[in-house]
Amino acid sequence: MRQAMRPFITMAAAALPVLTGNAAAHAVPSEAAVRSSGSAPACVEVGPGWRYTFVTNDCAETHTPTVAYSDGRDVPCRVARPGDHLTFPGYGTRGDRVLGAVLCSGAPSSRGPGATGASPG
C-alpha cells in the first residue's frame, strides 16, 4: 500500500504550487485593508444578514457606499442621501462575511434600485 500511494502523493505535492499559484490574483481583502481604503463613517450603518445586507445613511451628508465581503465579491456603489436605506446582497450560507461599508470614489449616475428614504429633490 505504501508503494502504491507514493506516486500519488508525489504528484499531488508537485501540483500544489500550480493549483495555488494563481491564488494571489484572487486574494480576498483583509478587514484592515477594507478599513484603510475608505471605510464609511460610523453614521453609515450596516446590518448584515444571510439574504440581504442593509445600509442606512444616518449622516447629515450624502455618501456613496458599497459593501465589502470576505470573498471579494464586487457589488456596485450606490448613492445614499441622508436618511436613505439601501439593500445589498447578503452574505449567503457558504461562510462569507460582510466586512463593512466602504465609500466609493465618484458617484454613480443614479440612486439605483432598492434605495428608499429621502426623495430626490
**87-104 average pLDDT score:** 95
Domain 28-103 part of CATH 1.10.10.10? no
**48-77 average pLDDT score:** 96
pLDDT over threshold 90, residue 115: no
Of 4-8, 19-23, 65-69, least confident by mean pLDDT is 19-23
Cell of 9: 502523493
Which one, of 101, 106, 78, 103, lies nearest residue 31 by Cα? 101
Count CB atoms within 10 A of the CB of residue 7.
Answer: 9
- For residues 44 and 101, give the distance between their C-alpha atoms in angstroms, rounded to a whole number: 7
One-letter amino acid identity for 85? H
How is the chain split into domains, by residue range? 28-103
pLDDT over threshold 60, residue 109: no
| Rg of the chain taking only CA atoms, in angstroms | 20
CA angle 85, 89, 25 (to 5 degrees): 125
The count of residues in the chain is 121
Position 20 confidence tier, pLDDT thresholds 50, 70, 90: very low
pLDDT over threshold 60, residue 120: no
98 neighbors 67 (Cβ within 8 angstroms): yes
Whole-structure pTM value: 0.59
